[in-house]
Amino acid sequence: MRFFYRDRPSFLSALLSAPTAAHEAPWVISLPPSGVVSSASALASKRASVLLHRPFEAPTLIGFFCGDAYLADSEIEIAGSRVGDLSAEIRRHNSLYYREDRPEVTDAEYDGLLRELRSLEEQYPELRRPDSPTQRVGASVAGTGFATAAHKTPMLSLDNAMDADEMRAFDQRIRRMLDRDDDLEYMAEPKLDGSAVELVYRDGRFSQGLTRGDGRVGEDVSANLRQIPSIPDALPESPEPPPEFVSVRGEVVLPLEAFRTLNAARRARELEPFANPRNAAAGSLRQIHDIDLLRLRSLEFRAYALAEGTPEANASQWENLETLRQWNFLVSPECETCQGVDGAIRFYAKLLARRSDLDVEIDGVVIKVNPLELQHTLGALSRSPRWAIAYKFPPEQVATRIEEIDIQVGRTGALTPVAKLDPVRVGGVTVSNATLHNQDEINRKDIRVGDTVVVQRAGDVIPQIVRVLLAEREGRIQEGASLKPYSLPSACPICGGATIRLDGESVTRCPNLDCPAQLKNNLRHLAGRGALDIDGLGEKIVDLLVEGGLVGRLSDLFTLETESLRALERMGEKSAANLIASLERAKKTSLPRFLIALGIPHVGATMAEVLAHEFGDLEPLMAASAAEIEEIEGVGTAIAESVVRFFADSSNAAEIQRLRALGVHWAPVEAVATDTQGKLRGFSFVLTGTLSSPRAEFKQRIEAAGGKVVGSLSKKTRFLVAGENPGTKLQKANDLGVEIVDEAGLEALF
């Protein structure tokens, strides 16, 4: 459904009146990527794409607001902008999930972003790029600290089915591809919630272990995998010797009992407990320094696939699982063959009912075509096999009471309300906290202290409040309880300063840059694994440094001395010396890591790499305008403005200067090799439409000849290279006076 109106009032009138009359559920307006708003007044005056959707359904892109005018751009331009925003957001979440083991969104929210992107790319094929998240798996493994290696066979992901209708659609699709009217035999297996790895055996002995990585290249975590007791060092020679090369795929999981034991031990050592078994398994597997063998030996590897080395006699996935069992691998005992899609749906229902009785966490069922011959016939897409699908479980829900609402202050000053719950078991884990996000979310759900609420672990990871049980509230009020609407405080609970909420933002903030909570969180961020990676600078030490007056800003870290550290509680001579040594090592870093450490809003690991490689060093980036930054492929307006605003702040600039004066340094990033005297020197290009070769090849040739390829047209663009079906960029190029050439015209420029 799309509406196009030139003026804002008539657009809003139609938007807010028509859908409710035409549909059984109310509709809402969304401003991506974060918020849902229920009134026109909350629409920001800045340019923002607007989404229309019913609750729990995928949004439909409908247009842009800019000031008071609704811009009815052509659909392809609107879609192109949204595709860029979605791609950047999904890449950021991939990095958080696969590289940093700290997801910020639920599985359901992530799946919604990916589905929206896939839908737009199917509607506008010319917008699909080879590096789109819909065409790739996982996240890049560059700069993680591990050696890397290629998977002999790509380690793909799975498409999802969220209900029985989508499961039946999957069955119909593959039977149509196979020209089959009869029921197919499926293999149904628990979808383990852990960390996927590949084990390589050469001549029967364990040779190498890799994480999924980006699906083609993974991290070599062989040394850590060797510590997991359930991974065989060698494959048995009988009844038949194993093939020379064997690739076993499976999941590293942490059993629930081991998870509880591990977290109890961490609490005893005053360490932060892991949020869930998946994070614990992934984090344990990817340890580099001070490896905790106890954590590794608590893990299990459960095999689910033979990627290479299938015995010739095996004709099915079931037989492959039997082979893995004979080779002494753990295989989930719940696996079953099912006849037809109805059999697969029945298995799903049976396992869902047993879910809380299992010894490991699962978040669904994997349904695979059982005969290997049919798997080979169906083949795979760039991101997932056609012959398998993940049939996801709905989040588990339980009722509990909100005892109080605490306020946490983040590193940017954002106040986050957190509901303190009467502890309750959800999905095998005890939940006592749930984030409430912001005041708008509290108002939308009408959440009050003392309410009985329904809680779920969204995507079975992050606890969230689904709804309030209003009947319970009425009963408590009749009993004399006072359950008043909740408002975030007008004063920061940490420093006491007045809080603010800017127009167009959903977040309430403490603007005091000297607020101890912000400083502590910024220090933890700077010391994190993806930033300066300072060993020994944990949460407790940060608290001691700030509260003891030793650190009042980030750069103060590098002025610390052993003598002053020894005066801190629980800081012995050895610990102090180790921390000083870690700080000294951290001074030598890379530009991407330094950019991450600065905590620039909207600049995560992926964007830091992009900016570093584009500008080469810090000074050119600090001097760049928002327009120049926005010309970089994959960089949107919000990111560009955030970067410029950060460096324009005199206190930030002074802190950067002080950090460098104290010895923090890096080597400039090597730019792509170009011919500085090349024929295309000084020319910028935009590529559009379908070209005869991948765009990456054209980009490489242009840059090698001294040119520059940017993502969007501007008056500075010299050439638009137009392939087939170029879309609306042709008209925009004409309007801007940009010269348009085809592939032959481009060749003539070299």
Enumerate residues 6+ apart whose C-beta is below 8 A from 649.
none
CATH of the domain at 547: 1.10.150.20
CATH of the domain at 744: 3.40.50.10190
- Would you say 11 and 5 are in contact if contact means Cβ atoms under 8 Å apart? yes
Question: Is the confidence at residue 154, as pLDDT, over 80?
Answer: yes
CATH of the domain at 102: 1.10.287.610
Residue 383 is predicted with a pLDDT of 79
Question: Is the confidence at residue 22, as pLDDT, over 60?
Answer: no
The number of folded domains in the chain is: 7
Both 348 and 463 in one domain: the answer is no
Q: Which residue has the tokens 């920061």?
A: 492
* 412 or 272: which leads in pLDDT: 412
Is 191 a known active-site residue?
A: yes
- Would you say 100 and 141 are in contact if contact means Cβ atoms under 8 Å apart? no
Residue 106 is predicted with a pLDDT of 61
Residue 19 is predicted with a pLDDT of 41
Residue 3 located in a structural domain: no
Both 307 and 380 in one domain: the answer is yes
Residue 321 is predicted with a pLDDT of 96
Residue 508 located in a structural domain: no
Q: How far apart are CA 510 and CA 28, in angstroms?
A: 29
Both 350 and 248 in one domain: the answer is yes
Where a domain ends, among 72, 88, 117?
72
Residue 384 is predicted with a pLDDT of 86
* 162 or 635: which leads in pLDDT: 162
Both 234 and 184 in one domain: the answer is yes
Both 257 and 302 in one domain: the answer is yes
Cis peptide before 277 (omega within 30 of 0): no
Residue 28 is predicted with a pLDDT of 43
- Would you say 210 and 301 are in contact if contact means Cβ atoms under 8 Å apart? no
**Of 399, 415, 402, nearest to 483 (Cα)?**
402
Residue 611 located in a structural domain: yes
Both 536 and 613 in one domain: the answer is no
Residue 503 located in a structural domain: no
Residue 319 located in a structural domain: yes
Between strands 415-426 and 429-435, the pairing is antiparallel
- pLDDT classification of 266: cutoffs 50, 70, 90: confident
Burial-class residue 446 by CB neighbours within 10 Å (0-12, 13-18, 19+): middle
Residue 179 is predicted with a pLDDT of 93
Burial-class residue 21 by CB neighbours within 10 Å (0-12, 13-18, 19+): exposed
Helices 539-547 and 516-527: angle between axes, nearest 10 degrees: 140
Question: Is the confidence at residue 329, as pLDDT, over 60?
Answer: yes
Q: Which residue has the tokens 């801007």?
A: 736
CATH of the domain at 444: 2.40.50.140
**Of 102, 96, 85, 199, nearest to 140 (Cα)?**
96
Residues facing 365 on adjacent strands: 190, 391
Grouping H, G, I as helix, E, B as strand and the rest as coil, residue 67 is coil
Q: How far apart are CA 281 and CA 293, in angstroms?
A: 13
Q: Mean pLDDT over residues 604-625, rounded?
A: 87
* 30 or 557: which leads in pLDDT: 557
Residue 488 is predicted with a pLDDT of 95
Both 212 and 257 in one domain: the answer is yes
- Would you say 322 and 329 are in contact if contact means Cβ atoms under 8 Å apart? no
Question: Is the confidence at residue 252, as pLDDT, over 90?
Answer: yes
Predicted confidence (pLDDT) per residue in 90-124, tens digit: 888 877 776 665 666 666 667 778 888 888 877 77
Q: Mean pLDDT over residues 722-733, rounded?
A: 78
Both 337 and 250 in one domain: the answer is yes
Both 101 and 54 in one domain: the answer is no
Both 452 and 338 in one domain: the answer is no
Both 612 and 692 in one domain: the answer is no
Q: How far apart are CA 609 and CA 594, in angstroms?
A: 10
Question: Is the confidence at residue 303, as pLDDT, over 80?
Answer: yes
Domain that holds residue 579: 516-586
Q: How far apart are CA 61 and CA 78, in angstroms?
A: 8
Question: Is the confidence at residue 297, as pLDDT, over 90?
Answer: no
Q: Lowest-confidence range among 196-200, 254-258, 674-678?
A: 674-678
- Rounded to the nearest integer, the mean pLDDT of the chain is 81
Residue 640 located in a structural domain: yes
- Would you say 168 and 336 are in contact if contact means Cβ atoms under 8 Å apart? no
- pLDDT classification of 71: cutoffs 50, 70, 90: very low
Q: Mean pLDDT over residues 549-571, rounded?
A: 90
Where a domain ends, among 53, 72, 91?
72
Residue 706 is predicted with a pLDDT of 81
Residue 38 is predicted with a pLDDT of 31
Both 201 and 281 in one domain: the answer is yes
Where a domain ends, among 366, 392, 418?
392
Share of the chain above pLDDT 90, in %: 38
* 229 or 293: which leads in pLDDT: 229
Question: Is the confidence at residue 267, as pLDDT, over 80?
Answer: no
* 39 or 60: which leads in pLDDT: 60
CATH of the domain at 355: 3.30.470.30
Catalytic residue among 46, 152, 191, 445: 191
Its sign, for the CA torsion 289, 301, 386, 148, is: positive
Residue 676 located in a structural domain: no
Residue 622 located in a structural domain: yes
Q: Which residue has the tokens 């403005």?
A: 641
